[in-house]
Structure 1
Amino acid sequence: MEKTIVIEESLRNPLTPAQINAKIDASLNTKGSFNWSESTPHLLWSAIVNGNDVATVGFGNSKSNFERAKTSNNAKIQQELLAVIMKYEGTTLDKILINADADLNLMDVIITKQETVIALRQAKYIRYIEPADYSYLKVRNAALRPNESASSSSSSSGCGYESTTLAAADYTTITPNAKVPWAFTQHNIPNAWTISSGKGITIGIIDTGVSPNQSLLGTNFNNGLSSGRTIQKNGVYVDSIWPWSTTTDGVNDLCGHGTSMASAAAAPRNDRGLPVGVAYNANLVTYRAASNVVIDGYQEQEAVKKSFTALGNNANVKIISMSMGHIFSVGKIEDAIRFAYGKGKLIFCAAGTSTSFTTFVGVIFPAWMSETVAVTGVKEGTSYQACSDCHTGSKVEFTVAMQRSASGNTVPVDSYYENQTDYVGGSSVATATTAGIAALVWSKNPTWSREQVLNKMRQSANFYPNRNGSFGYGNINAFLAVQ
């Protein structure tokens, strides 16, 4: 006999966005994490209705059963769950189903009633139900005090089109006329280039896209000593407040962050006097998946999911690097990362770079996942101090020196604009740099598995065979890693 769902009178009205954020913050402060699976039905429903009534429903025969290709009854399960939603919502299929993922056991649906949330949580095949369009940051930014600004939050974090003349102390010059960032020398990357240049390895970068105005990451990707390689640019981000919009805004970087990451990982060893990337002969596949570095809201989270599944399905891609994140988990992104991991990809994610409201958070999502390798930045020198805004914690695997001890300058990269340079810092550039080192190792040992590459990188790092509680295995010696 079906159990009647009864909702207390005090729980019939949804919480306000400010109340929802307060509960999220309380969890982050006390436990260091927040997950919708641990929330009450009332909190979950409140976030759904405050986010355009959109929810993501993950399903399967078990908690680990997230892949459609490995779920023979996935269509039947989906139909059963849609029937539950239609029953409690009192409407038809065309009014509730927004999207059903082709690779993953999940769908995005419209839910307006708390009874539907409760019924779904009681259903046999549910892995999770989450708000798909609740924007934590939008609420937070609306509550900024008068002396704060949105630029102090991660809504704009990491973006900028600046070009800066590099200090002479921050680079050396190498043939044919490329600038080697000081940080590369700290990690013995120039010596590693005598053995490996990343040739034959493809790195996937999920970020804000790549500038159309920087030809070294476009038509001149093969320049100087970089040759015979490709760069493929994809755009999956939809710049719309509406979850049902599907037209992307293209492949081009409208932030600047993605361009910097692509440069650090694989910019050519050029003859133009501009910074070189770590794996200067590796291929690149880039995805514009967000407008900035925090994957908040439906369209960014959906685009990141699509990027990971596409890169997972791309047999040429060995390494995936993402220098973006969120302060709590997102089920559809977790599923997509596990999908790519299951395809043998080596996935590097940024541990996090603080903003005014995330200073109490350790390693951010998805870098805390066991399927990803968390990377953070440290200051120059042997004393191991986190960079000014970099997150640390037990989930960190590697560090990269990316902030000078005296000047505070960060890592030289190719600018958003042609023939210009810039600096970039944080755990972001540390992650892209580490992905490049992985490409050097894999290029030297093309038959190796992901685990073999990762173990060789660990063995070359400062703290190995031990692991530091905040900095993992520490700084990698790229020359030792490719020997």
Structure 2
Amino acid sequence: MTPTRRALATTLALTAALATAPTTAQAAGTPQHPWYFDTLRVEEMWEHATGEGITVAVIDTGVDATLPELQGQVLEGIDLTEGAESGHVDTAGHGTHMAALIAGTGEGNGIRGLAPGAKILPVRVINSIDISINSVSHWVEGIQYAIDSGADIISISVTREDIIGAAGPLSEMAEEAARQNVLFFASAGNKGEGANTAQPPASLDGVVGVGAVRSDGERSSYSTSGAHVAIAAPGNDVPSHCDGLDGPLCLMESGGTSAAAALASASAALIWSQNPDWTKNQVLRVMLNTADRADDQRRDDFTGYGIVRPDRVIVDGEGDPGDPDSPPIFRDWEAGLVPPATPEPTPEATPDDSAEPAPGPEAEAAATSDDGSPLPWILGGTAAVVLVAVTGWLLLRRRAD
């Protein structure tokens, strides 16, 4: 979605979105008030932004839109699996939980998401996160669908070794997302420290790989480390439905980098909703330069540039968005895209005197520059002949006088 469209959507959605944000105090460390609500000052953020006007595409196992906390939050979406039914079908529950962590309203004592004003675009590409990927075409088509449908953010909480060979087509989708100003997050993987195996889509250029942390700010032991980790988000003790989607809420001890990717996406939605005219580059830049780090290092392979802190942007006004056209990471990669993510201005055509007609009245008027600068001393064609003739006539007249 372009900044202009996003700004219009923000205006229309603000009142309704604020109404969906829960405002009652909840006990800390419970399924409806997990630990990161206090760390990120979530309810204080909701006084300024709730993700309104932002669409997050959840490319996963589908999203069950009948859950109380997701009613009215989920767009139509698409089902690209074999025997497709609907993007609202989720027999595994994984995509639904990710959607709830992003945009759940808490209705019916359900999950309260980080950005309850955002909308979820469900893109069902697999039936279960445990099955092998038979065809990467579903993933490619799903990402393209999300881009074409106007998603601002793509969130993928699935990392698969069996699609490494298909990294080429997925890379093309990452390129297209960059061109269309779509911010792309993916889970880093749950292989643990030292498992630096590059796993798409998180390992692809243009995709923000997300690691997981515990409530003490330390990296979760299962969170895959590597150069593809750009940022981290909560992954432990996150709310979930126990015993199926119709079961009660509980705190899942290990939500994995899946939950972290969803919460990073929600953080971006909050920041973007408060700053609808920003580009993806500006949103990501402030996320990275306000991220929480326990030391002075710029980044490491465990938590990337740090742990997401959208509250520092939304509540405290921190973070410099910088150049809207300059990505904070993947700069060389994006600069090499053909066609480019940020097209160069089309240069004005240089007139060809041998082919172009003589300047008309408008061109002659423009020659007397508004700033009083001298005119070019080289004139071509008929204009030069006229100037010489007039000059000669003036000289002859002066001699005669």
TM > 0.5:
yes
Shift, 1:268, TM fit:
1.2
Q: Is the 8 A contact 2:59 2:156 kept in 1?
A: yes
Shift, 1:465, TM fit:
7.8
2-structure distance, mates of 1:346, 1:435: 9
2-structure distance, mates of 1:469, 1:285: 31
Q: Is the 8 A contact 1:353 1:389 kept in 2?
A: yes
1-structure distance, mates of 2:204, 2:78: 25
The structure 2 residue matched to 1:342, chosen from 179, 192, 213, is 179
Q: Is the 8 A contact 1:394 1:471 kept in 2?
A: no
Shift, 1:472, TM fit:
0.9
CA spacing shift, 1:320–1:295, aligned 2, 3 Å: farther
Number of corresponding residues: 281
- Alignment map for 1:371-386 (pairs within 5 Å): 371-382=206-217, 384=218, 386=219
Provide the residue aligned with 2:60 in structure 1.
Answer: 207
Q: What is the letter of the counterpart of residue 100 of structure 2?
A: S
Residue 197, structure 1, aligned to residue 50, structure 2: yes
Per-residue CA distance 1:420-463 (angstroms, 9 max, x = gap): 32444000000000100100000000010000000111121123
Shift, 1:419, TM fit:
6.7
- Alignment map for 1:28-177 (pairs within 5 Å): 170-171=29-30
Residue 417, structure 1, aligned to residue 252, structure 2: no
Q: Is the 8 A contact 1:205 1:262 kept in 2?
A: yes
Q: Is the 8 A contact 1:349 1:367 kept in 2?
A: yes
Provide the residue aligned with 2:137 in structure 1.
Answer: 302
Identity of aligned residues (%): 25
Provide the residue aligned with 1:325 in structure 2.
Answer: 159
More strand by share: 1
The structure 2 residue matched to 1:256, chosen from 81, 84, 93, is 93
Q: Is the 8 A contact 2:104 2:110 kept in 1?
A: no
Moved over 4 A (4+): none
Shift, 1:366, TM fit:
1.2
Counterpart of 1:170 in 2: which secondary structure? Answer: coil
Q: Is the 8 A contact 1:376 1:398 kept in 2?
A: yes
Residue 235, structure 1, aligned to residue 75, structure 2: no
Per-residue CA distance 1:41-94 (angstroms, 9 max, x = gap): xxxxxxxxxxxxxxxxxxxxxxxxxxxxxxxxxxxxxxxxxxxxxxxxxxxxxx
Provide the residue aligned with 1:122 in structure 2.
Answer: none
1-structure distance, mates of 2:165, 2:155: 18
Q: What is the letter of the counterpart of residue 222 of structure 2?
A: D
Given the two structures, how large is their TM-score scaled by the length of structure 2?
0.64
The structure 1 residue matched to 2:226, chosen from 347, 370, 393, is 393
Counterpart of 1:261 in 2: which secondary structure? Answer: helix
Counterpart of 1:171 in 2: which secondary structure? Answer: coil
The structure 2 residue matched to 1:457, chosen from 287, 292, 302, is 287
Per-residue CA distance 1:127-180 (angstroms, 9 max, x = gap): xxxxxxxxxxxxxxxxxxxxxxxxxxxxxxxxxxxxxxxxx76228xxxxxx22
- Alignment map for 1:471-482 (pairs within 5 Å): 471-482=303-314
CA spacing shift, 1:187–1:473, aligned 2, 3 Å: farther
Counterpart of 2:33 in 1: which secondary structure? Answer: strand
Shift, 1:335, TM fit:
2.0
**Larger Cα-atom Rg:** 2
Counterpart of 1:435 in 2: which secondary structure? Answer: helix
Shift, 1:470, TM fit:
2.4
Q: Is the 8 A contact 1:363 1:396 kept in 2?
A: no
Q: What is the letter of the counterpart of residue 156 of structure 2?
A: M
1-structure distance, mates of 2:149, 2:170: 17
Given the two structures, how large is their TM-score scaled by the length of structure 1?
0.54
Shift, 1:196, TM fit:
0.7
The structure 2 residue matched to 1:466, chosen from 285, 298, 310, is 298
Q: Is the 8 A contact 2:213 2:220 kept in 1?
A: yes
- Structure 2: state its 5+ residue gaps: 1-26, 318-401
1-structure distance, mates of 2:305, 2:38: 19
2-structure distance, mates of 1:352, 1:422: 23
Q: Is the 8 A contact 2:187 2:211 kept in 1?
A: yes
CA spacing shift, 1:310–1:185, aligned 2, 3 Å: same
Provide the residue aligned with 2:256 in structure 1.
Answer: 426
CA spacing shift, 1:348–1:329, aligned 2, 3 Å: farther
Provide the residue aligned with 1:368 in structure 2.
Answer: 203
- Structure 1: state its 5+ residue gaps: 1-167, 173-178, 222-228, 239-246, 404-409
Counterpart of 1:195 in 2: which secondary structure? Answer: coil
Residue 280, structure 1, aligned to residue 108, structure 2: no
